[in-house]
Amino acid sequence: MSNERAEFSKRLAAAMLAQGHEPRPGVLVTQFNLRFPGTSVVFQTASRWLNGKGIPEQDKLVVLADWLKESPDFLRFGDRAVHGKRGARQVKEEAPTYDDQKVFDIYRALPAAQQKVVCDVILALAAPPSRRSTSIKRRAGA
């Protein structure tokens, strides 16, 4: 087991405990799959993450970090991310916080046509950058 993977698994387990979750693969796979919009991960994948045998890809790491209220860089790299490997200045942008339920309630109160616009915007923002530029060009008539 590589030291990097082992350290990641320790940070992941500690972050789960800090948020009141047992650091077990069953808990991790359930909570992760509730939040990840892509293909679900299986029990064995969560087990590998917690047992120091694997590190998730960046898109999955971002979801884990958001759920566990940590930065993806800290989960992945630990203190190296905070201090910077070469002493580089770290800039952390504070993410805005929203009352998700309130936003959802407002969305549900919108007329169907406006709900469609909101969905189109969200889907456009969630698309990979290469697809975003293609759809923008199509809409602009290019």
Using one digit for the tens of pLDDT, what is the confidence trace for 27-86? 999 999 999 998 999 999 999 999 999 999 999 999 999 999 999 999 999 877 554 444
127 DSSP 8-state letter = S
All domains in the chain, ordered by first residue: 3-82 (1.10.260.40), 100-140 (no CATH)
Tell me what pLDDT residue 30 has: 95
Mean pLDDT, all residues of the chain: 82
- Model pTM score: 0.57
Radius of gyration for the chain, computed over Cα atoms and rounded to the nearest angstrom: 19
Cβ neighbourhood burial of 12 (10 Å; 0-12, 13-18, 19+): buried
List all residues 6 or more positions away from 1 whose beta carbon is below 8 Å from its beta carbon: 51, 52, 53
